Structure 1
Amino acid sequence: MSAHLKLFVVAVKNLFERPWTVRWPEERRDYGDRVRGFIVNDRSKCISCQLCEAVCPAKAIKFHLEENGKRYPGIDWGRCILCGYCVDACPTGSLQHTTDVEITWRDLNTYRKPREMEPTAVSPIEGTKSLV
């Protein structure tokens, strides 16, 4: 009987608390400045050392030959776990995290080629408010 009473007390207490969920995409959570979000590559700094591919535990990074004859990394976001090992391993700092964490696609092709990972190609979704 005491277990039922404890459950009732918890239920009454939760009636007066704010919900933990948000109405996405109208509302956004504020994750702070140190969040590990979408990864971009500044190809002008990339030396094609392939260290990022070697340290990726999810095997989400693959290198592609581009028009200028150099190989650049592309990321499969269906596999990426946003661990940041590739960013830490990059000796020139060409791979960087952005603060965009809400990554969505309209199809099942989640692989992004190197030219789609430029810092100018990534922008937050407009017209929404962030929770403070």
Structure 2
Amino acid sequence: MSIHLKLFAVAVKNLFEKRWTVRWPEERRDYGERVRGFIVNDKSKCISCQLCEAVCPAKAIKFHLEEDGKRYPGIDWGRCILCGYCVDACPTGSLQHTAHVEITWRSLDTYRRPREMTPEAVKAERGTAALV
């Protein structure tokens, strides 16, 4: 019986605390400026060194030959853990994190080819609710 009273006390206490959830997509959380979000590739800076593929612990990056004759990285978002090792390993800074963290897919095909990873392909929407 005392366990039930303790649970009821916790429930009553939580009624008066600030809520942790938001009504998505009407509200969005603001994660700040240093968030590690969606990764994009600026092809003009990429030198096809394949360091990003080598350091990826999830093996989510594969290189593809594009129309201009160079190889560029593509990311499988079903495997990517957003660790940022590929961004850190890139010597030219062509791979970058965006502020877009709400990644949703309409199909099970989560692999994105290099032409789908341009900075223009991703639109980050800033949050309207505080994180805490």
Identity %: 83
Which residue number in structure 2 is paired with residue 130 of structure 1? Answer: 128
Q: Tell me how many residue pairs correspond in the alignment.
A: 130
Distance 1:47 1:36 in 2: 23
Task: Check the 8 A contact 2:30/2:127 in 1, yes or no.
Answer: no
Could you tell me how far 1:87 is from its partner in structure 2? 0.2
Which residue number in structure 2 is paired with residue 66 of structure 1? Answer: 66
Which residue number in structure 2 is paired with residue 35 of structure 1? Answer: 35
- Secondary structure, aligned partner of 1:88: helix
Could you tell me how far 1:15 is from its partner in structure 2? 1.8
- In structure 2, what residue type is equivalent to 1:105? W
| Deviation readout 1:22-80 (Å, 9 max, x if unpaired) | 11111110000000000000000000000000000000000000111100000000100
Does the alignment pair 1:23 with 2:23? yes
Which residue number in structure 2 is paired with residue 105 of structure 1? Answer: 105
- Secondary structure, aligned partner of 2:30: coil
Could you tell me how far 1:7 is from its partner in structure 2? 2.3
Q: Which runs of 5+ in 1 are unaligned?
A: none
- Secondary structure, aligned partner of 1:72: strand
Distance 1:2 1:73 in 2: 58
Distance 1:5 1:114 in 2: 57
- In structure 1, what residue type is equivalent to 2:129? L
- In structure 2, what residue type is equivalent to 1:131? A
Task: Check the 8 A contact 1:61/1:74 in 2, yes or no.
Answer: yes
Task: Check the 8 A contact 2:38/2:101 in 1, yes or no.
Answer: yes
| CA-atom RMSD in angstroms | 1.6
Which residue number in structure 1 is paired with residue 90 of structure 2? Answer: 90
Distance 2:4 2:19 in 1: 23
Task: Check the 8 A contact 2:28/2:128 in 1, yes or no.
Answer: yes
- In structure 2, what residue type is equivalent to 1:74? G
When normalised by structure 2's length, the TM-score is 0.91
Point out 4+ residue stretches in structure 1 off by more than 4 angstroms: none
